[in-house]
Amino acid sequence: MSIDIKSEYETLEDVRLEFDAVEPKLSSRPDLHAFILLNQLMPGNRDMISAAEHDQIWLDVDLERLAEVATANHIRQLEACGVHFDSEYDALYMFV
């Protein structure tokens, strides 16, 4: 069963998630935790960052594939690490 990535992110819009609450931590750094988590969910051999502009980076993540393997908890972890959903491009991004 797959989840709706956009809907999962929408439920978190008014929630302030803290990386301190994420357990178990895959790294002591939030950005690395997010990258490691995404790689565990969807192993790959390409760079995680697909584009950058000003103070944002977009991640090379196939959202349909992610929806098949991710849980709501995974999305909460990503949000706590600063990974957000860009509805204009249907992509995940981070501020740098």
Rounded CA separation 50/24 (Å): 27
Give the three-class secondary structure for 56.
strand
Tokens for 39, please give them.
């790689």
Parse the chain into domains and list their residue ranges: 5-95
Using a cut of 0.85, tell me whether the model's pTM lies above it.
Answer: yes
Question: pLDDT (tens digit, 9 = 90+) per residue, 16-62?
Answer: 889 999 999 999 999 999 999 999 999 999 999 999 999 999 999 99
